[in-house]
Structures are given as C-alpha cells and as structure tokens.
Structure 1
Amino acid sequence: MTRATILIVDDEISNIEIMNAVLEDDYEICFSLSGQQALDTARAAPPDLILLDVLMPGIDGFEVCRQLKEDPVLADIPVIFTTGLGDTEDEIRGLSLGAIDYVTKPIQPAVLQARVSNHVELKRLRDQLASMAVTDALTGLSNRRQMERALKSEVGRLARTGDWLTVVMIDIDFFKQFNDTYGHPAGDRCITMVAAALTRAVKRASDLPARYGGEEFACILPGADPAGAALVAQEIGLHVQSLNIPHEQSQISPFITVSIGVASARCLPDMTPDLWIQQADLQLYKSKQEGRNRTTFIQFGASEGLVEG
C-alpha cells in the first residue's frame, strides 16, 4: 500500500523537525514554511492530510484552511490545526472553517501519531467509498454517473478554446441472445472482456472509457476531431474482434461484435453535454439498424446544421 503523504505547515523549523521525527517512519512528509507556500504545495500535489499551524505571518492558518475548503480539488483533505493557543474560541473558529481536529503544542508524540493515524484511515475509507460510487463494479470502468460528470466538465473546459470533443457509444451486438445461449455468468465475462478491450483501444490519459449500462459502453475523447475519432472507433472494433468470443446466435458473425456511434463537435459556450450523448446514441441506433458490426459518424454544431459520415 502506498504511504500517505502528510503536509506539515509551520513557520518554525524546529516544530516541523519534531513532527517529522514522530511521523516519518509511517508517512511521506513534505513541509511548508508559510501559508501561501502551503497552498501552492497542496495545489501542485494534494496531500492526504495537512498539519496546519494557526499563527503564521502573512496568511495565517485560518485563512489557509478557508481557501483549502473553497477549492473543490482540495476541500476533502483533512486539516488538523497545531497550536499552542489553548483558546476555545479559536478551536471553534477552526472547526467551523472545516478543520477536523486540533493538536496542541508542545507536541505529544503519542497523541500526534494517534490522531494522524485515525484521520488518514478515515480519509482512505472515504476515498474508497467515493471511488466505488463512480466505478462500475463488474468492469472497473467509470460508471454512467462519472461519465456524465466528466462530460459536463470537459464541455465547459473545451468551450473556452473552441476545441473538439467526441463521444463514442458502443453496444455489444445480439447480447440478449448471447446471455440466453451461454448464461449470465458467461455474459458477465463477455462484458468484462469487452471492457478490457475498450481500455486497450482508448489509449490517451485524457480519454475516459465507461460502462454506460448493461451491454452498452461510452467513451469521452477530449480534443479528438472526426479523423481522430474514426481511428479510435476502428481500434475499438478491432480489439473487440480480436477477443474471438464465440457467439453462435449472432446473425452477423460467429464471434462477438459491437456496433458503434460517434459524435464529434467543437465545443461552444451555448452547447450542453447532452447534445453529444443524443447524437452519439442516434448514430449507434443507425449502426444497429443498418446491419450492426459497424460504425456510424456525425459531425454536428450548435447551429450550423449536421454533417453525417
């Protein structure tokens, strides 16, 4: 298991050295000597927990905590204040800003170890639950909820530059007949193997393959123009065919195949994520209507009409 990273924030090096000595055997330690440096460090590489001094010159601990909790990327990082104040009002203020605990100075090693350990474990469990909520249990791909969340984010991001975005919808051909013939456990294995083939075909780190539901999959391809999308769709079909999963009830092939619908457009501020889903789903429907085991494309726009391919 990867060791958790603790960010220690304190303007006194001696305090950092004490806490580092207590924690370094169990955690990766990084440190910052000011509030602004702490924010910069956390944004560059979010830690698993922050030990944050209250009294610092410039941006104090309270302000650092406030800014952390207002940042969607950093808001879930547990913050433990380290302070010698011993003032109930300051503790209440810190907790109201989103801190989860206080450790008073001078540091008691056993207390620091116990509280850091407890909160790191709680964060690990929260992260695990959050991951499960957006992951398909059978395939390990993103689920529909995560796919739709990512699509919304990409549409907003790419609209600032007018860049391309492509959504691909994939459906396993004659899957009901496959289940009826080979049974649902075999059907699950088939879905898992197709998911693995999809992952191999969609290679860029920015691309997101997902299980959309049942035997249907989807891919988000940020920055992919129609030509690039066509190459990805071709790779998906070839990788699925290479699985050579027997399907004796298929009307088009002795092996499992997929139908694919592809929708590409330049992102503009007035375009909504569901446009890509609707258009890709329409192309998928056309692929199935026209014989399956094929890909149908569309290049669409916000207002200038549709160009099919």
Structure 2
Amino acid sequence: MTERDSPDPQGLHQLLGRRPRLLLVDDQPINIQVLHQVFAADCQVLMATGGAQALQLCREQLPDLLLLDVQMPEMDGYELCQRLKADELLRDMPVIFVTAHQEAEAETRGLACGAVDFITKPFNPAVVRARVRTHLTLKLQSDLLRQLAFVDGLTGLHNRRFFDERLEAEFQRALRNASSLALLMIDVDFFKRYNDHYGHLAGDDALRGVAVALRGALKRPGDLLCRYGGEEFAVLLPETEMEGALRVAEALEVAVRGLRCPHAGSEVAEVVTISLGLVCGVPGARDSVATMLQEADRQLYQAKAQGRARVSASALQAAIT
C-alpha cells in the first residue's frame, strides 16, 4: 500500500496517539476479510457479524469510523445506524455504508439515517481507502475543535464541564439499559500542605504527574478521567460492576503511589497518595446524577476519615435506601 492510498498519510496516527480504529460490520465473514486486508496495515480493525455485537463494540471500544453492511439478520444496518445516532456518546461516530444495493432510494435512506457516505459493491479498494481517509480526517478535526472547550489547561485532561455532560449522558444510558455505572471521586491527600512546603509550581507539576498516572491506569477507551477542580479528579466507568470498579480504584491508588513523588507534609506516606470515593450500581427511578455525586463525595469523605490513601465504596441502591 502506498502512502497516497494509506488511511493515515496526514499523520492521523500521530495526532490520535494510536492507529485509527475501524469497525467492520457484515454478516458475511468473507466480506469482512476483504476489508480487513485493505486496512489492517494502517488501522486497528475491529469486526462484528451482527448489529447487537457491533453496538456493544462501539460502546466498549469507541471506534473512529464504521464500515457497515445494510442487509443483516435481526438488526439491519439502517437500524444500527439509527441507534448509534440516538446515543449521545456515539452519535458523532461516522458511518459509511458498504452494500450491494445500488438503488438511489437505498442510498437516500442510508444518508437519512445519519451515514456520511455510501459505497456500493463491488468496490475499488483505493476508493474505499480514500473515502475512509477523508472521513477520519474530518472526524479528527471536528473532535479537536470540540475538545478545545473541554480541556483542562494544566493537566490536559477533560475538565469538569465535559465531565458533567458525560456523567448525565452515561447515567441516562445506564438507566435506560439497566446497566451498572461506577463513579469515582479522587482527592490528592494533604495537597495544601504540599503546596505550602514545595511551592505552587511544584504543586502544579505534582498534579500533572498524578494525571499521567491516573490516565495510564485506565485501560478501556470508554472510561473517562477528568480534573474535577483543584486537586480533585473524577473517573466514570460505564458498564462496570462493583468488583471491576474496585479493581480499577485500587489500580489508580497504586499508580499514584508508584510515582514516588516526595511529600514531606503527608501523615500517611512519604510520597503523594490519593483517597478515593466510589459509588457503583444500576440506577433506579429514584436515583439521579445528584445522588451519585453526593454518594461518591460521601465515600471520599469516609476514605479520608478512615486514614486516607485508600478506597471507600458503596452500592448505589444501598446509598438511597
């Protein structure tokens, strides 16, 4: 494959920090294999043979673009595209239909569902690569512009404004799908003393280091880390049960402690540590974003009262009874 034909000649790999992530959706494995050969060298290729599987992969892996067949059993491409566009977290994901249908009405219907392009089979691989490259570039540019308003200047993480929007969207999705949602509130222990002892410039460096450690400990693309304000951070873990959320919380605590950043003013360790408050569960009709935040804050207070540098957790349903 030449640089001209590659999906990434303009540095998408470098700008994303990874290879572009494509999801191929087709109920015929042979069709997936053909497209996989086209993109495997330059993209991380995900594959699904049905609409439900594709929807789950979208939520877990957040692909940059979908190449989607129209004719599939149970859930066809049109319905899948409509579901993606109805989901606030997935609606900006570009969809390109790849289908044997050549009728104008099929293309019109696909574009009306929210697709950005429509490619008919048999296709020219160079044309498919070019169109994918174009829409990946447009998606990246759009994401970068949108994110400028949602980035914390000190740490480079998303800011509280972005977090509040995502929390509301994830809460509503968990409520709608009866899925478990976990929220972590994190506080750097004795941070005022850190600033008093080392100075505010050193404090800024410490916060940047904590942000890097926290980000490195999160493994799923759908997990969200934000700077909530001051020395506070927040983590949102969609579709996560309590056991998994506790493992993540413990990994975050270990990651920050592993920085071995000296903290002479701490009463719990010789290095910078964090306390974490966790609430996790399937939201019910009586729950709200406010109740989740209040409970996570209450658990954070408990972690501090119990000695700091630890996790305190409660189940969402237990918190409201």
TM-score by length of 2: 0.58
Contact 2:55 2:80 in 1 (8 A): no
* Equivalent residues of 1:48, 1:77 under 8 A apart: yes
Please point out which of 185, 188, 191 is paired with 2:204. 188
Identity among equivalent pairs (%): 31
Distance 1:132 1:45, change over 3 A: farther
Measure how far apart 1:137 and its partner are: 5.3
**1:109 CA drift (Å):** 4.6
Number of the residue aligned with 2:230: 214
**Kindly tell me: are residues 180 and 157 of structure 1, through their superposed partners in 2, closer, same or farther at Cα, counting changes over 3 Å?**
same
Q: Choose the corresponding residue for 2:290, options 274, 279, 301.
A: 274
Alignment-derived partner of residue 93 in structure 1: 109
Which residue number corresponds to residue 111 of structure 1? Answer: 127
Task: Give the counterpart of 1:5 among 18, 22, 41.
Answer: 22
**Inter-partner Cα distance in structure 1 for 2:191 and 2:47:** 57
In structure 2, the partner of 1:170 is 187
Whole-Å Cα distance in 2 between the matches of residues 152 and 259 of structure 1? 27
Residue 278 of structure 1, CA deviation: 3.1
Offset from partner CA, 1:73-124 (integer Å, 9 cap, x none) = 654242235456363x543332211111233555345433321221133334
Match for residue 85 of structure 2 among 69, 94, 97:
69
Distance in 2, Cα, partners of 1:48 & 1:210: 21
TM alignment of 1:1-309, pairs within 5 A: 1=13, 2=19, 4-5=21-22, 7=24, 9=26, 26-27=42-43, 37-46=49-58, 48-52=64-68, 61-70=77-86, 75=91, 76-82=93-99, 85=102, 87=104, 89-104=105-120, 107-126=123-142, 136=152, 138-139=154-155, 143-145=159-161, 147-148=163-164, 149-150=166-167, 153=170, 157=174, 167-173=184-190, 175=192, 178-179=194-195, 182-195=198-211, 210-218=226-234, 224=242, 236=253, 240=257, 243-246=260-263, 250=265, 260=275, 262=277, 269=284, 270-281=286-297, 301-303=319-321
Give the partner amino acid of 1:273: V
Matched residue, 2:16: none
Letter matched to residue 301 of structure 1: A
In structure 2, the CA distance between the partners of 1:10 and 1:244, relative to structure 1 (3 Å rule), is closer
Distance in 2 between residues matched to 1:297 and 1:29, nearest whole Å: 39
SS at 2:320 equivalent: coil
Question: Shift of the alpha carbon at 1:151?
Answer: 8.0
**What count of residue pairs does the alignment treat as equivalent?**
289
SS in 2 for 1:190: helix
Aligned position for 1:306: none
* 8 Å Cα contact 1:207-1:220 kept in structure 2: yes
Tell whether the 8 Å contact from 2:225 to 2:235 is kept in structure 1 after alignment: yes
The separation in 1 between residues aligned to 2:308 and 2:73, in whole angstroms, is: 66
CA contact (8 A) 1:166 1:264 kept: yes
TM-score normalised to structure 1 length: 0.59
CA offsets, 1:122-161, max 9 Å, x none? Answer: 3344456667766655445554345543487469849998
Q: Is the 8 A contact 2:99 2:120 kept in 1?
A: yes
Letter in 1 for 2:95: P
Per mean C-alpha deviation after superposition, the further-off stretch among 95-104 and 135-144 is 135-144
How far apart in 2 are the matches of 1:90 and 1:96?
10
- Provide structure 1 residue ranges, at least 5 long, that are not aligned to the other structure: 304-309
Distance 2:46 2:133 in 1: 17
Would the aligned equivalents of 1:160 and 1:268 in 2 still touch at CA under 8 Å?
no
Cα deviation 1:226-249 (Å, max 9, x = unaligned) = xx97xx68x9499559835355xx
Deviation per CA, 1:211-235: give whole Å up to 9, x if none: 221222345686559xx97xx68x9
Structure 1 vs Structure 2 CA RMSD: 5.6
